[in-house]
Amino acid sequence: MNSILIIGNVWPEPNSSAAGARMLQLIQLFLSEGWKITFASTAAESNHMHNIETLGVKKANIEINNDSFDNFLNKLHPNIVVFDRFMTEEQFGWRVTKHLPDTLKILNTEDLHCLRKTRQEAFKAGTTFNYSDLKKSDITKREIASIYRCDLSLIISDFETNLLKKEFNIDKELTHHLPFLLDSITEETKQKWPTFSKRNHFITIGNFRHEPNWNSILYLKETIWPLIKKQLPEVELHIYGAYPPPKATQLHNAQQGFHIKGWAKNAQEVMKQARVCLAPLRFGAGIKGKLAEAMLCGTPSITSSIGAEGMLGEDSDWNGFIKDKPEEFANAAVKLHNNQNIWSQAQQNGIEIINTLFSKEKYSNQFIQKIVELQNNLENHRSKNFIGSMLQYHTLRSTEFMSRWIEEKNR
């Protein structure tokens, strides 16, 4: 039986973010194999965190730059360590390598932070994003180095896997495509959804602390929603998300039909009541949880090219429309809201996307098989990753000595 240590950047909040839902999916997958899990984090606990102890997962609080983690690690002695985002690998990866050199190290990227951050910087600077910009960024160098230092990195979309290969020449043996692990939508499930006539209004949802979400809300408020409201004066836009700051709640305006609802205890329930989901994302990366959730609830959506990235197969059609210009986005939203035939076809497209691109059974089996293969062939696997070995050699020294210096300073 495998013993797994997951080092989380934060405690899982599946009802607050796609990252939290993704982490819970990983936990449930490992538990289904009968593996023992300990989840550790330096983060403070929150009101929205999932009670993972009820699942049989042990919790542990750990500290950065503190040799107490070494004692914790040696006592636990996991044979697999999963780092949640590259920052936790930077903080704790060298300690795992030093004390447990034979332990399998897996990086859960969530999405490529360097891609999201570089796109965000280009947007704020008013420039056109270019993939060559990635190589100039410090965060790119840190994230790519982390990928090389790990035995396997989980990449949430084929788009990002191909980007790593094309732009950074990263061997696909070091990465594994693992999208959201979702149950198939059956005809029985579909029959339980509210029908077109029983649904009302538009919805958007997402953690307010996530910059792409906050930017899209402002974009809706200032540009897109007035265009929709002009054509549909009676409709409303309901905006849900965890951690709304005062600057968000101040946007609430009932007369304009712009309603800031805040955190939704059950995101699927509010999504099922809406007729159309709006997600005009102008930068970001990875798979968008709100759009997958919309498909799971039979709610068609309008999004941007960035929003749909990595969520479409070669022969699949979108769960609604993909539009990047505000006027086209607004017109498509009105058309989808008003035309039941177009709406029904969009809903069916979403079902096909979930059932073909996010098959829980298919991708779960592939991932477990990959772990077994690596554990049985770890030495040979690592021998082919010289860059990772080289980076590990220097990281063990530079990061360790910096950490030791901080430890002494704290004393």
Q: What is the mean pLDDT of the chain?
A: 94
Average of per-residue pLDDT across 309-326: 92
Question: Which tokens go with 228?
Answer: 């929709």
How far from chain centre, in Å, is Cα 124?
A: 22
Q: Are residues 340 and 307 in the same domain?
A: yes
What are the strands, taking DSSP E only, across 91-205? 104-108, 152-155, 175-177, 202-205
Q: Are residues 245 and 276 in the same domain?
A: yes
Q: Are residues 352 and 388 in the same domain?
A: no
Q: Are residues 72 and 34 in the same domain?
A: yes
pLDDT at 202: 98
> Which of 61, 22, 19, 40 has its CA nearest to residue 242?
19
Q: Are residues 353 and 368 in the same domain?
A: no
Query: Which phi and psi (to 5°) does residue 272 adopt?
Result: -65, -25
Q: How far apart are CA 188 and CA 172, in angstroms?
A: 38
Q: What are the tens digits of pLDDT across the range 7-28?
A: 999 999 998 888 999 999 999 9
Q: What are the tens digits of pLDDT across the range 50-89?
A: 999 999 999 999 999 888 999 999 999 999 999 999 999 9
Q: Are residues 257 and 293 in the same domain?
A: yes
Tell me the β-bridge partners of 36: 3
Domain boundary among 316, 339, 357: 357
- What DSSP line would sit under 273-288, residue for residue? H-SEEEE--SS--S--
Q: Where in the sequence is the domain holding 23, given as residue range(s)?
A: 3-182+360-410
Rounded to the nearest 10 degrees, the angle between the axes of helix 289-296 and helix 18-32 is 70
Question: Which tokens go with 236?
Answer: 């409303």
Q: Are residues 138 and 213 in the same domain?
A: no
Query: Which phi and psi (to 5°) does residue 51 adopt?
Result: -80, 80
Domain boundary among 334, 357, 380: 357
Side-chain-side CA neighbours of 164 within 13 Å: the count stands at 31
Apex 209 CA angle, 61 and 129, nearest 5: 115
Which CATH number characterizes residue 352's domain? 3.40.50.2000
Using the predicted structure, report yes or no on whether residue 165 has a pLDDT greater than 90: yes
Q: Are residues 130 and 45 in the same domain?
A: yes
Instruction: Among 143-152, 158-167, 334-343, 400-409, name the one with the lowest average pLDDT.
Output: 400-409
Q: How many domains are contained in the chain? A: 2
> Which of 354, 60, 342, 380 has its CA nearest to residue 189?
354
Alpha helical stretches, state H, 134-224? 138-149, 158-168, 187-191, 211-219
Query: In which band, very low, low, confident or very high, does the pLDDT at 35 lie, cut at 50, 70 and 90?
Result: very high
Q: Are residues 209 and 84 in the same domain?
A: no
How far from chain centre, in Å, is Cα 345?
A: 27
Using the predicted structure, report yes or no on whether residue 363 has a pLDDT greater than 70: yes
Domain boundary among 329, 357, 385: 357
Q: Are residues 347 and 383 in the same domain?
A: no
Q: How far apart are CA 345 and CA 351, in angstroms?
A: 10
Q: Are residues 143 and 224 in the same domain?
A: no
Q: Are residues 192 and 140 in the same domain?
A: no
> Which of 53, 106, 98, 41 has its CA nearest to residue 74?
98
